[in-house]
A and B are shown apart, each in its own frame.
Chain A
Amino acid sequence: MTAAVSDGEGGSHEAAAIAEIVEGSTERAHRLTSIVSRHAILIYLIVVLVVFSIVRPRSFATFANYQSTLAIQAVVVIVALGAAVSLVIGEMDLSIANNTALAGAVIIGLQVNDHLSWPLAVLVTLIISVLIGLVNAIVVVRFHVPSFVATLGMYTLLEGAWTYYLNGQTLVPLVQLPSAFYIIGRGTFLGLGAPVYIAFGCALVAWVVTTYLPLGRRAYATGGNRDAARLSGIRTTRIIFLSFLVSGFLAGIAGIILGSEYGNAAPGAGSELLFPALAGVFLGATTVRVGRYNVVGTVISVYAIAFLISGLQQLGGVWAEQWVNPVFDGLFLILAVALSVGLSRQRDRRVALERLKSGREREVLREMSKSTVTEGKAHS
């Protein structure tokens, strides 16, 4: 650097070279930070696991703890996937949590009150949940009600529905339900609970569809720019319908798992899942595929939040109190959105800078080729 300065005129070449090197290294540094920031949530999850394992080796760092957190959060993952499916297409499905709660009530009720066999009860429950998604889709697409309002209305409506269905009381089966039914929520295989397999199965399918299938591409296009998607020949209304049906279906699965896990139907079990699920999806959009609602990020984020809360609770004292859960769910929801907004602003700034740079290059090129360009139009 000093050489370049002292060299005066001849040094301008060197200065340029140095500038290039500096730029190159910042480029590399930039790539590194981008990798780190892309996996920030995963890194954070690992940090949480390590820290709490050290602080609470006897309770946190136990297989039983990991196992139960994974299993308990499996339902959250499924609900979060449902939320992600609607967010990808640019809509929002808030009704999923109470759809889950209703499904959890219905799956028990059908067996206890209506004496349906458990596979039939599962089928009917799923159909009901999908129909709820269909109603959402119709209201949003055909009646042009903003999905936030439509599904918020449905959320409350469904709360009424399960209250009515359960008559405000916990429905406990008097006779033991078939043991096959309990496998859904309680079974274990290779040390992991069945819900974990179901959740990861759903996540796997969702991941393949969103990243490797035309349907996923069309969904992202629909969410990113509906007009452009429509004009490129995508049947956007069909995509929106499908997305609401899928989120309803996932809510149904989550409800069935809850019913099987608890073995009874408590009013409102499942409706508290909305916020952790949304927090997971929003936080997920800040990682893996930054700026995009994505499946892998969602799964990682759900567990990142869950393990932090579980770790805190095991610290005991105030942290074990009941208020911790909702406070952290809320905090993460806000934090996630703030983070993603911040990241996209940062990206915009970088783009603007790059444009400025390439704009200058273009201007030079244009000066050079001025003689060949005969006539141009002004930007007026």
Chain B
Amino acid sequence: MSKEVTTAEPALRTRGLSKAYGGTLALDDVSLTIPPAQIVGLIGENGAGKSTLVKIFSGVEHPDDGTIEVFGTRFDHGLTPEVVARCGIHVIHQNLGLIGNMSVADNMAFVTGYSRKGPFIQNRKTIHQAKRTLVHLGMFELDANAMVDRLPAAKQTLVAIARALATDARLLILDEPTAALQSEEARLLFDNIRRLKESGVTSIWISHRMDEVIDICDSVIVLRNGRLISCENVSDTSERGLIELITGSSKSHDMSDPTPNPSASATGGLAIDELASDAVGPISLNIGAGEIVGVTGLAGSGHLSFADLLLGLDQWRRGTCRLGEDEYRPTSLPDARAQQVAFVPPDRSRYGLVAGLNIRENLFLNVDKAKAMMPGVERERARRLVQEFDIRPPDTERMVSTLSGGNSQKVLLARELQGSGRLLLLCEPTAGVDVGAKLQIHDYVRDWAARSGAAVVVCSSDFQEVCDLCNRVVVMRRGRVGSVLQRPGLDVRNVTMACYQDEDGEVEG
């Protein structure tokens, strides 16, 4: 806490804010001050506590400890969404919460109220009112009549901001507002936020892009592992300085479980050559048999599209792939699966499991014709898998919707790791999974890789995970392979550094 800017009445001030989930501290004694009419950056790794802080500021989570002061009013037990709205705090989430098939004016009128005569909406007056608000906010580039879903992404964000300010918001919290934007588009947002600052609006700007934070913010708050690391003026710092604050320059994570390098056999393995789709690539990478390669990166870097590419879900624009001795070019998912590719999709409730079916049925969701579904046989095999993967409760007939995150993930894993395979793709394999299950899942993947001799690709946003689990880690940047990290030297800090590295490799690990 080098320099805390203090004024008579800060927009937001916290003292000793703490929040724990289960056994882990998401926020640990955070005391910070956001001065009024400033743009304050909020940065940190995935899982550093940013989201928790935003949730507390928006009133959806309550701190376990600590006080919050909003424009001079003190709250000892956290906020509620009503209080937040009354105090003029407004969070602009990445999902803007706009109604796409209605006009800008309509979207604004939903919160400010329509101009009415008796029970009838006065359309012209409503539009006029929206126009006046937009002009007042200086957002001349927004047309009140435009349909929201026809607007470019940056303008949609502006609509969300205008809507917030139309209800007298004084503090905007913008959660990665530029993650989905091109740099020119982001410029539009910068200009508006700066202008709003002149008229007294305070903004908290959450971002992964250091250049942007330095460009737009007056001061910056850095969180690491739930702790406030620094709160400093941007003029005092550099991109590199910020990255070191985020990762903790001196601290290096110890390798808790070094995986032995597999003997890269000539047979098996995956060879990717200049593979590209519209979204990502070109990518060239060789993965040995039994090797576990992590693919990671910041949000939007393309590390999650990597699996889609390899499965052929994203159409290949160029490049080739070899799986063992054979050319690998999946035309469809069933085709990929026929070539012994296993896939653990992300977001298990959406893409992985069928909630209305039980554990056994989910384990044998796509039974092939050769394997009969005789009740006794299947139940026995399910029982064995449930035991092997330590799924609790060990009841094969239980609906998967009743399982905890860790156990449902194990069901998904058990389904995909049956038998042998040549390539295994895992997407966010331990998202929303408790620590114990996470370690188990890592063990199962390691065992399976060693046993089957398949090439394993782990696409994950969890840096710790790829460092723990993988032999090598590919860090994606802007849809391409940014860097490849190997042991030794594979730790969270180096991965983070690699994420923020420039194209020309300015920042070194």
CB distance from B247 to the nearest CB of A (A): 15
Q: A378 touching B21 by the CB < 8 A rule?
A: yes
Is B25 an interface residue when CB atoms closer than 8 A count as contact?
yes
Q: What separation, in Å, do the CA atoms of A362 and B403 have in the docked complex? A: 13
Task: Say if the beta carbon of A2 comes within 8 Å of chain B.
Answer: no
A366 contacts chain B at the CB level, 8 A cutoff: yes
Query: Chain A 122-155, CB within 8 Å of chain B: the 1/0 string?
Result: 0000000000000000000000000000000000
Min CB distance, B23 to chain A, in Å? 4
Please determine whether A380 and B351 come into contact, CB atoms closer than 8 angstroms: no
Query: Which among B26, B364, B366, B404 is the interface contact of A362 at CB below 8 angstroms?
Result: B404
| B352 contacts across to A, CB distance below 8 A | 228, 231
Give the distance in Å from the alpha carbon of A145 to the alpha carbon of B489 in the complex.
54
The residue of chain A having its C-beta at the shortest distance from the C-beta of B371 within the complex is A214
Q: Are A380 and B350 in contact (CB under 8 A)?
A: no
Contact B373 A379 (CB under 8 A): no
Binds A, one of B193-201, B238-246, B355-363, B450-458: B355-363
By the criterion CB–CB under 8 Å, are A380 and B415 in contact?
no
Asked if residues B367 and A214 are in contact (CB atoms below 8 Å), the reply is yes
Which of B26, B256, B333 sits near A379, CB closer than 8 Å?
A: B26
Check B375 for interface membership: any CB of A closer than 8 A.
yes
Q: Are B373 and A218 in contact (CB under 8 A)?
A: no
Of A225, A232, A379, which one neighbours B366 at CB under 8 angstroms? Answer: A232
Contact B356 A378 (CB under 8 A): no
> Which residue of chain B is the closest to A363 with respect to CB atoms?
B22
Q: A378 contacts B49, CB within 8 Å?
A: yes
Distance (Å) between the CB of A84 and the closest chain B CB? 15
Interface string of B12-49 (1 = CB under 8 A from A): 00000000011111100000000000000000001111
Q: B52, A378: Cβ atoms under 8 Å?
A: yes
The smallest C-beta distance from B492 to any residue of chain A, in angstroms, reads 9
A359 CB contacts on chain B under 8 angstroms:
404
A225 touching B354, Cβ below 8 Å: yes
Asked if A167 CB lies within 8 Å of chain B CBs, one says no
Q: Is the CB of B50 within 8 A of A213?
A: no
Query: What mask results when residues 324 to 346 of chain A are scored 1 for a CB within 8 Å of chain B, else 0?
Result: 00000000000000000000000
Which of B81-89, B211-219, B432-440 participates in binding chain A? Answer: B432-440
B375 / chain A contacts, CB cutoff of 8 Å: 212
On chain A, the residues within 8 Å of B366 by CB distance are 214, 217-218, 221, 229, 232-234
Tell me which residues from 216 to 240 in chain A have a Cβ below 8 Å from any Cβ of chain B: 217-218, 220-221, 223-225, 227-235
Asked whether any CB of chain A lies closer than 8 Å to the CB of B345, the reply is yes
The residue from B336, B356, B373 contacting A213, defined by CB atoms under 8 A apart:
B373
The answer to whether the Cβ of A370 comes within 8 Å of any Cβ in the partner chain is yes
> How many positions in chain A have a CB within 8 Å of any CB in the partner chain?
42
Residues in A neighbouring B434, C-beta threshold 8 A = 362, 366
B50 touches A380 (CB 8 A): yes
B47-90, CB under 8 A of A: which get 1 and which 0?
A: 11111100100000000000000000000000000000000000
A377 at the interface (CB under 8 A from B): yes
Closest CB of chain B to A271's CB: distance in Å? 31
Cα distance A47–B333 in the bound complex, in angstroms: 51
Flag if B367 contacts A225 (CB, 8 Å): no
For B401, what are the chain A residues with a Cβ–Cβ distance below 8 Å?
A: 351
User: How many B residues are at the interface, by size bracket?
Assistant: 35 or more
Q: Which residues of B contact A369 (CB under 8 A)?
A: 436
A374 contacts the other chain (Cβ, under 8 Å)?
yes
Q: Which residues of B contact A233 (CB under 8 A)?
A: 333-334, 336-337, 366
Measured between C-beta atoms, what is the minimum distance from A145 to chain B in Å?
19
The reply to whether A214 and B48 contact each other, CB–CB distance below 8 Å, is no
Q: Contact at B365–A234, with CB atoms within 8 Å?
A: yes
Q: How far is the CB of A13 from chain B (nearest CB, A)?
A: 25
Residues 337-351 of chain B, each 1 if its beta carbon lies under 8 Å from chain A, else 0: 100000101000011
Looking at A223, A234, A355, A375, which has the most chain B CB atoms within 10 Å of its CB? A375
The verdict on A212 contacting B373 (CB below 8 Å), with A224-B357, A291-B356 known, is yes
Q: Which of A214, A230, A359 has the most chain B CB atoms inside 10 A of its CB?
A: A214
Assess the A355–B26 pair: CB atoms within 8 A. Answer: no
Chain A residues with CB under 8 Å of B46's CB are: 377
CB distance from B347 to the nearest CB of A (A): 9
- Is A1 on the interface with B (CB-CB < 8 A)? no
A178 CB within 8 Å of chain B: no
Residues of A within 8 A of B333 (CB): 230-231, 233
Residue A34 CB within 8 A of the other chain:
no
CB distance B361 to A220 under 8 Å?
A: yes
- In the complex the two chains form, what is the Cα distance from A370 to B256 in whole Å? 16
CA separation between A377 and B364, bound complex, in Å? 32
The yes or no answer to A292 lying at the interface (CB within 8 A) is yes
Pair A217/B402 contact, Cβ less than 8 Å: no
- CB–CB B350/A227 < 8 A: yes
Complex formed: what's the CA distance from A139 to B371 in Å?
A: 33
In the complex, what's the smallest C-beta–C-beta distance from B120 to chain A, in angstroms?
32
Closest chain A CB from B367 CB (angstroms): 4
Task: Collect the chain B residues with CB atoms within 8 Å of residue A228's CB.
Answer: 345, 350-354, 365
Contact indicator B52/A224 (Cβ below 8 Å): no
Determine whether A376 belongs to the interface, using a CB cutoff of 8 Å to chain B.
yes
Contact A221 B354, beta carbon cutoff 8 Å: yes
Q: Does B101 contact A (CB under 8 A)?
A: no
Chain B residues in 8 Å Cβ range of A217: 361, 364-367, 373
Among A231, A363, A366: residue with most chain B CB under 10 A: A231
User: Counting CB contacts under 8 A, is B124 at the interface?
Assistant: no
Contact with A along B419-437 (1 / 0, CB 8 A): 0000000000000101110
* Across the A-B interface, the 10 shortest Cβ-Cβ residue pairs: A378-B26, A224-B354, A233-B337, A380-B51, A214-B367, A366-B23, A377-B47, A376-B24, A224-B356, A225-B354
17 A/B residue pairs, CB under 8 Å, sorted by A:
A212-B373, A214-B367, A218-B366, A220-B357, A225-B355, A225-B356, A228-B352, A230-B333, A231-B351, A233-B337, A292-B356, A355-B402, A362-B22, A365-B436, A373-B23, A378-B226, A380-B55
Given contacts A220-B356, A362-B434, A378-B24, 20 further A-B pairs with CB under 8 A are A212-B375, A213-B373, A214-B373, A217-B364, A224-B355, A228-B345, A231-B345, A231-B351, A231-B352, A232-B365, A232-B366, A233-B334, A233-B336, A234-B366, A355-B404, A362-B22, A363-B23, A379-B432, A380-B49, A380-B50
